Amino acid sequence: MDPVLHQLPAVYWTVPYVSSRFPGSSEVADLPRLEEGANCQLFAYAVLRHFGLAPPDLRSSELWADTQATVRVSAAQPLDLVLFNATDDAYGAHVGVWVNEGHVLHLCAEIGRPVVWEMAEFVKRQRYRVLIGIKRVIDRPQDTAG
């Protein structure tokens, strides 16, 4: 099994898709537990945080424009964020996490839970057919222990 997927706690596989639970939403502020549900961005950021990365709580177009905590890359590595949409516009893009060669973990509205798809599965669907690009999180949490 893939090392990223193997190290992901079981609770991550049962997160329900809830579109209103996105980064920065009052619903998430009131009930921050991932088990309450998430959209694709909130889920992807939680996965990265589990592995010690510090993605910013940005919506997809803000994430694509960000240059402080992330960088655009041309070739994906495990734990990179992958953005898809029906057009080449990052606004409203779907966000997943690259786990290995050609496979992306994402919280899928169509299925209602996390799944791993090969890149070809995204191309088959109108809403995900365009690969906007790949972002790598370069920011890590600061060590606050003194």
Q: Structure tokens of 8?
A: 């992901």
Q: Domains in the chain and their CATH numbers?
A: 3-137 (3.90.1720.10)
- Global confidence as pTM: 0.92
Confidence of residue 51 (pLDDT cuts 50, 70, 90): very high
* pLDDT for the residue numbered 103: 96
How many contiguous H segments (helices) and E segments (strands) does the chain have?
5, 6
Q: If you average pLDDT over residues 64-77, what whole number do you get?
A: 96
CA 87, CA 91: separation in Å to the nearest integer?
9
Closest CA relative to residue 96, chosen from 1, 3, 4: 4
pLDDT tens for 71-82 read 999 999 999 999
Give the rounded percent of residues in the chain with a pLDDT score beyond 90. Answer: 81
Task: Specify the pLDDT at position 142.
Answer: 58
Residue 140: its pLDDT value, please?
A: 63
Distance CA 47, CA 136 (A): 13
